[in-house]
A and B are shown apart, each in its own frame.
Chain A
Amino acid sequence: MKRSQKALSVIVVLAVGLPICLLLGIANGAVSIDLADVVAAIFNNLGFSLTSTSDGFSQNQLIIESIRTPRVLLASLIGAALAVSGALMQGLFRNPLADPAIIGVSSGAAVGAASAILFESAWPAGYAHWATTMAAFLGGLAATWLVFKIGTSPYGTSVATMLLAGIAINAFAMAGIGLINYLADDNQLRSIIFWQMGSLGAASWLNVGTMALVVAAVVLVLPRYANTLNALLLGDSEARHLGVNVDKAKKWLIIVTAVLVGVAVAFAGMIGFVGLVVPHLIRLIVGPDHRFLLPAAALLGAMLMVLADLCARIIISPAELPIGIVTALIGAPFFMFLLLQKRQTISG
């Protein structure tokens, strides 16, 4: 029982930390805004009317209202989505190396986005952006569906076959991207490359709303699967003995992951590392029980993404770093350090 108490306290700490990170993200950026203005703008939006006397407050309010707040919220939702998806995949595949990319969703989305960019002149002006987002989402779903179909036979769904199918689909998708890169002109090529590095620059309240709906739906569904995932950790047949409908569970877990990651990738491009590392970090702290692992991973994923995006926005301001680079640059050394620290406990 000691472990679950520790897990709960970790979740509480994270739940307190997240709003602080959100505020940090809203308060900082390329345009420097007084903290008083930030607070006033936030209160104004919450329905209280606080006016600031400083010049240019209306523009600052606009920046906070229509640029930073949606961006920070989108970052947190995407961070949570990626981290939870990673936890689901690691649970489903019973493999700590699994991340959402394993079921092809990321590379499928990349093919979709790249082909939309290649044919961007075919879309009516102003819709190219939406075409890219939609194509990424559909590409991600299509690749996942293929992986799932290949992994499923009349005898059930085999995660081992799915893993191999995922490798094949990823390789095929990479070839597809290579071909598109070859056909693309200079400008398109750079767009595709930038898309693949990820960015939250496209954040709008519409994106935030959509992402929030998806995440909320998953939050409602997931608690049911926490115990299922715990049972699956024992193995398929053991899980069946515990009364779990294994094939149905696998199917739903794949669908949830594909939708979560599909929407996240469609809105922000490829952001690696979060889905792989956050569940690991959490597992090192709270243990493998998915009842605690999933919410804690969601909170930490959200926090890390908000902080990473903040770095991306301010490090080389007025320009901006792609977020995928930041998550990997900051996350990887930290993760290595942690692994070195915990080496003995993990192997022991």
Chain B
Amino acid sequence: MKAKLSALILGVVLSTLLQAQQRIISAGGAMTELLYALGVGGQLVAVDTSSIYPESASKLPKIGYHRSLSLEGVISLKPTLLLGSAEMGPPNVIQQLQSLNINVQQLPTAVTITALEKRITEVAKLVSKEPQGQALLAGIRANQQQLAKQLKAVKKPLKGVFLVQPGGRSPMVAGTGTSANTLMALAGILNPAATSVKGYRQLASESLIAMAPEVIIVPDHMFKNSSSLATLIAQQPGLIQTPAAKNNRVITVDSSLLVGGVGPRVVEAAQKLAAEAYPDLHSAIVKVP
């Protein structure tokens, strides 16, 4: 009995020691966020430039943008695992890293909840945190179901557009295949742009008027940089004709949410968005832990 116990303790200690020796590099904001959510943030030795959440990730060494990794730069950090999206590259660098026996894993960027669930399962397995992965998944599913149930009370869903504004130019609208679209769908907001737009596109003012969005959603960094609805309208004149602008209905969402696909916080963000979009349901939704 004693021997068994000490063997167990030894085993636990050894496996923690072994895990502590994992040196992980994460390329992609959503991936980094997921690794922190799985509790392996401490094993990260570097991240890419898109990893801005959580705060401690941004303090780690930066390996540059995930599509233009530096071969020797990555090697110099002695990683045991390089986790990134399918777009991570350049391809020859990835091949060389693999030939140097560094475990390189490329997972498709998740822009839907199904893909996110798959990603969580796979990443949890790669970093030996399956129980944490299961718990994370269960939490996301529970929140999602709860939100969907609460949203059934909505009789007439709102039409909304998600706008991002690159460098003060006229805004781009989010269509299908974007994490913003997923976020809106979760929050029970109809995205009229999804029928005609794939990815992010600049839109003619007239099409925007025709879509008649009742709510405008923007990433919060846009309004932090001394911008406002007024400047947004100035850059896209058609906006003023929309019900959203007339009723001054603009909702901001956390910018760090949407970098590199959807991450584990997407349902929580959707709850917040739904609570703001449907004030009547507000109290019901914000009760969510």
Contacts and interface: CB of A to CB of B under 8 A. Distances in A.
Interface in B45-73: 46, 49, 61-65, 67-73
B39 interface: no
Interface in B190-234: 199-200
B100 interface: yes
Given A186-B200, A194-B67, A318-B46, A30 B72 contact: yes
Contacts of B68: 194, 199, 201, 320, 322
Interface stretch (B90-98, B113-121, B134-142, B148-156): B90-98
Nearest to A207: B92
B72 A68 contact: yes
Interface in B81-106: 87, 89-93, 96, 100
A59 B99 CA distance: 11
Contacts of B64: 316, 318-320
Given A194-B65, A194-B68, A204-B92, A62 B100 contact: yes
Contact of B92 (A32, A62, A202, A320): A202
Given A186-B200, A194-B65, A317 B73 contact: yes
Contact of A129 (B71, B87, B91): B91
Given A186-B199, A186-B200, A63 B70 contact: no
Interface residues of A, number: 30
Contact of A201 (B65, B77, B87, B93): B93
Interface residues of B, number: 28
Q: Choose among B64, B71, B87 the residue with the greatest number of A CB atoms under 10 Å from its CB.
A: B71
A71 B228 CA distance: 48
Contact of B75 (A30, A187, A191): A30
A250 interface: no
Interface in A182-207: 185-187, 190-191, 194, 199, 201-202, 204
Contacts of B49: 319
A313 interface: yes
A199 B64 CA distance: 13
Given A191-B89, A201-B71, 6 more contacts: A30-B76, A31-B75, A67-B71, A187-B67, A201-B69, A318-B63
Interface of A: 29-32, 59, 62-63, 66-68, 126, 128-129, 185-187, 190-191, 194, 199, 201-202, 204, 313, 316-320, 322
16 contacts: A31-B72, A32-B76, A66-B96, A67-B72, A67-B75, A128-B91, A129-B90, A185-B199, A187-B67, A191-B89, A318-B70, A318-B73, A318-B74, A319-B62, A319-B70, A320-B70
